[in-house]
Structure 1
């Protein structure tokens, strides 16, 4: 399933990690909002922090929203 948003956070796996894809590239597994923010900073979004991640319309959350980190 393709997304029209540049950032996709996939459902949690059995360890609670969520794959993060930015502009078609997998950046890694996040275990918290802070991890997602760090991936965004590495991708060039300097203002990314936990609040930014919660409010951003650029992120598609699959398998639950930003508050879901358990499988």
Structure 2
């Protein structure tokens, strides 16, 4: 379950993927907000969709916001 600790989305790498960290653990690479929503669902927020990802204060976007996926 996601705690009050922000979810961190790191800057895009060479492939355009962004590392996703939830509660201190790297869950994998996301290539879109849809991928981030899936990671959030796996972390216990089953109702989350792409709009929740874009609007959430739980998520800290580093190196660009939810529209930045190019390296």
TM-score, scaled to structure 2: 0.91
TM-superposed deviation, 1:6: 2.4
Alignment of 1:1-71 (within 5 A): 5-71=5-71
What CA distance in whole angstroms lies between the structure 2 residues aligned with 1:66 and 1:15? 16
Aligned residues: 68
Runs of 4+ in 1 over 6 A off after TM superposition: none
Segments of 5+ residues of structure 2 without an aligned counterpart are: none
Q: What is the root-mean-square deviation in Å for CA atoms of aligned residues?
A: 1.1
TM-superposition CA deviations, 1:4-52 (whole Å, max 9, x none): 7420000000000000000000000000000000000000011211000
TM-score, scaled to structure 1: 0.91
